[in-house]
Structure 1
């Protein structure tokens, strides 16, 4: 193996050092050569120092190089090429490492700038907190909370204690809806908090979204649907009334527009007028009935909620509906998973809801030969569920979003009140009503209560 230049230089220095030691050993035996002894001792010390300096030179250069990388000083270089080929290869390797590190640094900075641009343009407010420092906050969050320029979480708490309390109540993970008031307006914000650990440091990521616009849009859509249905029902009643009124006026006036005399009215004409008046009266009563049902929809009584044992409650409902089931040749089954299962509800109002749902099931089973209705209750995820299932015609997908809208009905003679009223009653109980349906196979309504 060919010795490298560095190795040769080290060996040469060691050999010179050994020569100095031998010379020093020879002159030390001759007292008359005292000054030569001092000279050789000094040379020996200088040679040792030079050997140490030469050996550590590479370590110093490497240390300087790595320190430059640590502080991102990309101008630093490794100058040891004069020591031979192996050190030129080391210099090339160090240069390649430097360029790779520089490239990683550039890519990291580009990714950071891209992330900053992305976060800034998101329509959702984002805040990242490490201890009491705000690491990331975008313009949307600053605008929603009116905290432009804030970078310290303690100062933000002083500015908006309500928001801080809401976030503290959520904890490290969770979601909450709050009402945020400013001097100008009131916003409805949904706040979601998650916590993660990066390099043993805790970061809280907070997302904030203003749902006021979405709520307004949904409210407008609901009003549009309601107005469309109300207009449809009212026009169905008013149009024939207006038409019959015009017909009666034509019967009672002549061609010149003058009122006819009694003698001019024939028996057939009087019969037609009477028939028209009866029709107008009937449609007026229908319109009054419609208005009365609308008033009933807006005047749902406050429920008298108390614990109810569901086994007894559903048994009573089954007995109540049994005659109707027999009349329509329907098999009614009911089951409660736990005889002691209870739910907090107003039994009278929930009876009304269940009767309405069973009535809808009876209608859906008209074209089915083997008719079944199932009524059950069980506990699921700390919620009490009352389930009403039938194997009738089902609900089409395009109607699923509209069935709870007032006056929307799939029945020819339906009023569209029942399901909307049922939903109001469930909302007043702090619960919910949901439906799933597979047309011509199965439809299930779920009434959810607090346990």
Structure 2
């Protein structure tokens, strides 16, 4: 905001320089060498003064930005100058300097606040660059690893060599479990990485959590569920056996004495045979139940090979189509991209998909326009997956926590180990099986492969 005073001073300086230049030229023509020298020095002084006068604004702005860069907020520009434009400029610079200083203080307060949150967090947090230099590690992480201070991931070799290799080879968005053992205890660590970019530098943020307690709770909860189901199934089998056995014993023992053969009636013998047949049948059911349990425990290690996703889904489609008739639910498969490949045991995964597809078709059997869709693809993290989706009645929240428990079933038929076997197969493949359900809208079982 230049004022009239600034322009007047500028015009006057130019006029004086012009007059001095004319005087210099005239002195040279007339041969007045002393005067010529004086005019030349005066002209140079005037040029220097003009340049200084014009550049004073640039110097102030340069000083201002240098001070901001160095976080020096003590710089103040004089506001009592005679030139109005310079006065307004100085006031503006001082005002901006104050605002920046206030923002800087607020950022420092927030940074201290966030630093304190990270220090007090119940999970370990570490940030390191591509060269392995650790930029930040909170006290929780140092306590988990029992090592301080942490400056480079190579120091982790002194904690556990395998842990160092985990951090060294960590990929963005990767999740890993690591069991850290020392002389006193064993700690189960869950690690998750997230990429960051700070000041053009690629960093990796790793969150480390001790899940030993959670695993113990989950393990206990799983045992309780399994024992509850096992008790229910065994009692259903044993109760009629005990009841029938007691009835048969009463035929052959009276008041603590064995009943003589001549006192036995033909109906008692027939009932005895019928009872023994029921006992045999119940015993056979119990043997089948135990055999199902053994099959769950003895799933063979997968014999993996590269399988084209499109071919795998088309085989499942052919098998399921043979079960469908006119008017039955729709069954479709999709593979995106069509060149998608899986490194799996084809037989085991096919059995899992067949089991999920059968369950889905049964759930939409009585629904108008029922449909089951099987989709293979890649998620945002680059993991390959296969979804089995249906628009059936869905799974209620009460049942959701039980569906993967061995022998749990809501059907009148079946052993209730299909989903348990499916989960075991996915574990052996290093993957997961998850379910999401909105009752009466859609249900999705997702197989995710590492």
Alignment of 1:245-260 (within 5 A): 259=256
User: SS of 2:204's equivalent?
Assistant: strand
**1:73: which partner in 2?**
72
1:349-368 correspondence to structure 2 within 5 Å: 368=366
Taking a change above 3 Å as real, the CA distance of residues 55 and 448 of structure 1, as seen in their structure-2 partners, is closer
Q: Partner of 1:83 in structure 2?
A: 82
* Aligned ranges 1:179-328 → 2 under 5 Å: 179-183=178-182, 184-196=185-197, 198-238=198-238, 259=256, 278=275, 281=279, 285=283, 288-289=286-287, 292-293=290-291, 295-302=293-300, 305=303
Q: Which residue of 2 aligns with 1:101?
A: 100
Q: Supply the distance in 1 between the matched residues of 2:449 and 2:368 (Cα, whole angstroms).
A: 31
Which stretch of the first structure deviates more once superposed, 69-78 or 279-288? 279-288
Partner in structure 1 of residue 170 of structure 2:
170
Unaligned runs of 5+ in 2: none
2: CA distance between counterparts of 1:449 and 1:76?
A: 61
Counterpart in 1 of 2:137?
Answer: 137
Correspondences of 1:320-359 after superposition (within 5 Å): 345=345, 347=347
Given that residues 5 and 83 in structure 2 are in contact (C-alpha distance below 8 angstroms), is that contact kept between their aligned partners in structure 1? Answer: no
Alpha carbons of 1:303 and 1:163: their partners in 2 closer, same or farther (altered >3 Å)?
Answer: closer
Cα contact 2:244–2:279 (8 A) shared by 1 = no
- The question of whether the paired residues in 2 share the 8 Å contact of 1:394 and 1:438 is answered with yes
Larger Cα-atom Rg = 1
Structure-2 separation of matches of 1:386 and 1:146: 42
> 3-state DSSP class of the match of 1:207?
strand
Q: Cα–Cα, structure 1 residues 427 and 435, in superposed 2: closer, same or farther, change >3 Å?
A: same
Report the aligned-residue RMSD.
Answer: 6.1
**Structure 1 gaps, min length 5:** 32-36
CA 1:73 to 1:311, structure 2 compared with 1: closer, same or farther past 3 Å? closer
Q: Taking structure 2 as the reference length, what is the TM-score of the superposition? A: 0.64
- The separation in 1 between residues aligned to 2:117 and 2:412, in whole angstroms, is 53
Please state how far the C-alpha of 1:410 moved relative to its aligned partner.
Answer: 0.9
The answer (yes or no) to whether the contact 1:124–1:208 under 8 Å persists in 2 is yes
SS of the residue 2:227 aligns to: helix
Preserved CA contact (<8 Å) 1:62 1:78:
no
Distance in 1, matches of 2:387 and 2:116, equals 50
Query: Which residue of 2 is the match for residue 128 of structure 1?
Result: 127
Q: Corresponding residue for 2:408?
A: 408
Distance, in Å, in 2 between the alignment partners of 1:29 and 1:336 is 101
Q: Deviations over 1:5-58 (max 9, x none)?
A: 9939x86x969x97xx99xx8xx9999xxxxx89xx999979987996798485
**Residue 223 of structure 1: SS of its match in structure 2?**
helix
Tell me the CA shift for residue 238 of structure 1: 4.9
The change in CA–CA distance for 1:108 and 1:239 in structure 2 (over 3 A counts) is: same
User: Tell me, what secondary structure is at the counterpart of 1:81?
Assistant: coil
Q: TM-score, normalised by structure 1?
A: 0.64
Cα-to-partner distance string for 1:214-249 (whole Å, 9 max, x where unaligned): 444433332221122122223434556667788899
- Pairing 1:367-406 to 2, within 5 Å after superposition: 368=366, 380-381=377-378, 395-396=395-396, 398-406=398-406
Alpha-carbon offset, residue 118 of structure 1: 3.0
Find the residue that maps to 1:170 and give its secondary structure: coil
Pair 1:377–1:205, CA change in 2 (3 A):
closer
Structure 2 CA distance for partners of 1:448 and 1:76, relative to 1, 3 Å:
closer
Tell me the secondary structure at the aligned position of residue 232 of structure 1: helix
Listed one character per residue, the Cα deviations across residues 346-403 of structure 1 (whole Å, up to 9, x for unaligned) are 74x67866776677578668x74999998x988644969697x889876555434422
1:382-430 C-alpha deviation (Å, 9 max, x unpaired): 969697x889876555434422311101123543233323443454456
Q: Deviations over 1:53-88 (max 9, x none)?
A: 798485677766655444333333223625354444
| Contact 1:81–1:91, Cα closer than 8 Å, also in 2 | no
Q: Structure 1 residue 121: deviation in Å? A: 3.4
Please state whether the residue corresponding to 2:108 is helix, strand or coil.
helix
Cα distance in 2 between the residues matched to 1:344 and 1:2: 83
**Equivalent-residue separation in structure 1 for 2:239 and 2:167 (angstroms):** 57
Give the Cα–Cα distance (whole angstroms) in 1 for the partners of residues 67 and 448 of structure 2.
66
Indicate the SS of the match to 2:151: coil
CA distance in 2, matches of 1:51, 1:369: 94
Distance 2:32 2:67 in 1: 54
Q: What is the aligned length?
A: 421
